[in-house]
């Protein structure tokens, strides 16, 4: 009876740091060998991390990435490794995978399906491979594929046709809500049709806007999942193939949707802070739901001792806002500061009095308050080397209900892709683990507190109506007429859409977020600022 032990290296890389990634590969390969594996499979573009973006246009970077393969061939000999790298053949660059064993290259595969939609720009960098790759290892014929390849039936079938008995696939498949199910459904259907078992390894970790969720898996010839790695964690696992078939192993439980999003956000904050070398994070805590959720996420990601919060009340801030903010900070063991913004607001009001004489109060005065808070928070961030977390949600960011350089100030916007209703769901989920967000923060009507008795509902449709309209318009590209036909009032649709159309300029200057929907603002939705398009 033949046996082949394949290690699945679901690991977290730092994009651009080839030397560190090579060391991580070497250490992981040795650990896999100790676990008895014959071969260890790494994620897509292992040596550079994914996505390396325009670093891939640098000759020095590509040379270093190609040299890394020689280093690996030299330093890892007692186990076969399958690693991804940007392969340069003197003319074109390929998104490739190489199999190294005992200092010899057993096979090189060039990715055939290059995604160039959504968050992907692979045709900007890579030329397409044109043929399948099968290599023999200990008597088994193994096919190689990379990520997008296995979303398309043709490549799996062609690889089997070329003699593969077993498929290995290297991936960098980013998370969004529902992605694990979608991924397994699509790929396993291809696998079942082709009747070939598959080992799928995904990277994990946060990289700017993207979260890679792991959830690596093994499917048998019928497309049944016989092993699944944990989500959002590094994991090294060994799967045994007997006579070409995978021996069923442990399937890590999957997070239900809200919990999974929460984990994604925690990982996103953790990796952004860690990989960018910040000593911790700060945020403005208003007593509202958005900053309350961001604080909970930040503490869960970094620990209370690495966080400070600032309360910055104005004359419009209700007492309960301050009370609830302090309550949560204390409950989570986080240091808080209180800096009333009145002195700065008064100063600016005086400085602008002559110029603004005779004009009416409008959002200008509200924005000044928000910007005074931005100045305070950025000063603390600068002085302490802590990352300023921006607390705005996706609903606000869609309709521009936020102040540029005010509450939009910050280096990272964890919930910028989280619609308001989901903010509430996440807060309730977090409180179900342990009550950290005061109940009143969740139940009171949302308000920016920039004018007397202001509530969001004064200027926006209720979030129960706004959020589904925004999802249809922003994420699904539905037209106004489609949305109205689905049962929404024309006036609500018109109000929401016209705000989305008008506020691209704000979004363009907003900090990066953590992408958790199928369409986040940023590289995922590339709209012109200067635009005569009106959705309604």
Looking only at residues 6 through 25 of this chain, which bind a copy of itself when binding is defined by CB under 8 A? 14-18, 20
H/E stretch holding 69 = helix 59-75
Residue 121 or 257 having the CB closest to a copy of itself: 121
Q: Of 203 and 237, which CB lies nearer to a copy of itself in the complex structure?
A: 203
What amino acid positions are annotated as catalytic residues?
Answer: 44, 111, 147
Give dist(CA 195, CA 220) in Å, integer. Answer: 8
Pairing state between β 225-228 and 217-219: antiparallel
Kind of pairing, strands 39-41 and 80-88?
A: parallel
Beta strand pairing call for 307-311 and 335-338: parallel
Considering only residues 85-104, where is the footprint of a copy of itself by CB under 8 A? none
Return the number of the residue (68 or 437) whose C-beta is nearest a copy of itself: 68
Cβ distance to a copy of itself smaller for residue 276 or 428? 276
- List the interface residues with a copy of itself, window 122-141 (CB under 8 A): 123-124
Binding to a copy of itself (CB under 8 A) within 182-201 occurs at: none
Q: Choose which of 38, 44, 148, 271 interacts with a copy of itself (CB under 8 A).
A: 271
Residues 398-417 contacting a copy of itself, CB under 8 A: 404-405, 409, 411
H-only helix segments in 243-302: 257-275, 289-302
- Contact between 27 and a copy of itself by CB under 8 A: the answer reads no
Spatial distance between the Cα atoms of 514 and 512, rounded to a whole number of angstroms? 7
Alpha-carbon distance of 434 to 415, in angstroms, equals 20
Q: Which of 222, 439, 458, 477 binds a copy of itself (CB under 8 A)?
A: 477
Establish if 433 lies at the interface with a copy of itself (CB under 8 A): no
Task: Say if residue 51 is preceded by a cis peptide, omega within 30 of 0.
Answer: yes
Alpha helices in 81-213 (DSSP H): 122-125, 153-161, 179-194
| Interface region with a copy of itself, contact rule CB under 8 A, candidates 44-52, 95-103, 184-192, 245-253 | 44-52
- Cα–Cα distances in angstroms (integers) from residue 256 to residues 25, 177, 205, 228, in the given order: 31, 10, 19, 15
- Kindly tell me which residue out of 481, 485, 486, 490 binds a copy of itself, with binding defined by CB under 8 A: 481
Q: Which of residues 444-473 bind a copy of itself (CB under 8 A)?
A: none
446: alpha, beta or left? (left if phi > 0; alpha if psi -120 to 50): beta
Interaction pattern, residues 362-381, with a copy of itself; x per rule: CB under 8 A: xxx--xx--xx-xxx-xxx-
Q: Where are the beta strands (DSSP E) in 25-165?
A: 39-41, 80-88, 93-101, 104-110, 133-137, 140-146
For residue 238, the minimal CB distance to a copy of itself (Å) is 29
Given the rule CB under 8 A, which of 172-180, 320-328, 392-400, 501-509 is the region that contacts a copy of itself?
501-509
Site for a copy of itself in 57-86 (CB under 8 A): 57-61
Task: Give the residue with the Cβ less far from a copy of itself, 129 or 511.
Answer: 511
Return the residue matching tokens 């521009």.
400
Write the DSSP symbol of residue 322.
H
Q: Least Å distance between CB 268 and a copy of itself?
A: 11
Q: Any contact of residue 267 with a copy of itself (CB under 8 A)? A: no
* Residue given tokens 């000999």 in the structure block: 77
Q: Does 117 bind a copy of itself (CB under 8 A)?
A: yes
């Amino acid at each position: 009876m033949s046996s082949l032990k394949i290690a699945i290296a679901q690991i977290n890389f730092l994009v651009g740091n080839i030397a560190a990634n090579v060391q991580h590969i070497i250490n992981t390969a040795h650990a896999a060998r100790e676990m008895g594996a014959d071969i260890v499979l790494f994620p897509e573009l292992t040596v550079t991390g994914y996505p390396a973006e325009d670093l891939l246009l640098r000759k020095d970077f590509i040379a270093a990435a190609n040299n890394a393969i020689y280093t690996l061939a030299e330093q890892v000999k007692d186990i076969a490794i399958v690693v991804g790298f940007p392969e340069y053949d003197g003319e074109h660059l390929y998104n490739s995978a190489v199999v190294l064993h005992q200092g010899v290259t057993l096979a090189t595969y060039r990715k055939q399906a290059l995604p160039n939609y959504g968050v992907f720009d692979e045709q900007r960098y890579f030329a397409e491979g044109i043929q399948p790759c099968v290599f023999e290892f200990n008597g088994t014929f193994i096919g190689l594929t990379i990520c997008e390849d296995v979303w398309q039936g043709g490549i799996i079938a062609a690889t089997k046709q070329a003699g593969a008995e077993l498929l290995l696939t290297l991936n960098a498949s980013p998370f969004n809500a529902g992605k694990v199910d979608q991924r397994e459904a699509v790929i396993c259907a291809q696998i079942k049709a082709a009747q070939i078992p598959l080992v799928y390894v995904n990277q994990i970790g946060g990289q700017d806007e993207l979260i890679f969720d792991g959830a690596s898996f093994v499917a048998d010839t019928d497309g049944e999942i016989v092993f699944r790695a944990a989500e959002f964690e590094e994991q090294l696992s060994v799967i045994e193939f007997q006579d070409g078939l995978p021996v069923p192993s442990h399937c890590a439980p999957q997070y239900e949707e809200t919990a999974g999003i929460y984990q994604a956000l925690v990982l996103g904050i953790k990796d952004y802070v860690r990989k960018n070398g910040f000593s911790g994070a700060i945020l403005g805590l208003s007593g509202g739901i958005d900053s309350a959720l961001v604080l909970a996420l930040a503490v869960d990601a970094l620990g209370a001792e690495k966080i400070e919060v600032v309360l910055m009340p104005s004359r419009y801030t209700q007492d309960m806002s301050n009370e609830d903010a302090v309550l949560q900070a204390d409950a989570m063991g986080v240091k808080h500061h209180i800096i009333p913004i009145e002195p700065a607001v008064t100063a600016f009001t005086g400085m602008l009095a002559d110029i603004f004489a005779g004009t009416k109060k409008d959002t200008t005065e509200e924005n000044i308050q928000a910007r005074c808070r931005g100045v305070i928070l950025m000063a603390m961030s600068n002085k302490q080397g802590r990352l300023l977390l921006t607390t705005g949600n996706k609903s606000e960011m869609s309709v521009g209900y936020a102040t540029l350089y005010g509450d939009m100030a910050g280096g990272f916007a964890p919930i910028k892709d989280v619609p308001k209703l989901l903010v509430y769901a996440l807060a309730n989920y977090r409180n179900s683990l342990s009550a950290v967000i005061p109940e009143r923060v969740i139940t009171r009507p949302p308000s920016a507190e920039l004018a007397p008795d202001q509530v969001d509902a004064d200027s926006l449709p209720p979030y129960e109506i706004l959020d589904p309209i925004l999802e249809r318009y922003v994420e699904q590209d539905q037209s106004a007429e489609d949305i109205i036909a689905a049962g929404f009032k024309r006036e609500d649709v018109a109000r929401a859409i016209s705000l989305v159309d008008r506020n691209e300029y704000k979004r363009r200057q907003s900090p990066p977020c953590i992408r958790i929907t199928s369409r986040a603002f940023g590289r995922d939705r590339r709209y012109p600022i200067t635009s005569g398009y009106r959705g309604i």
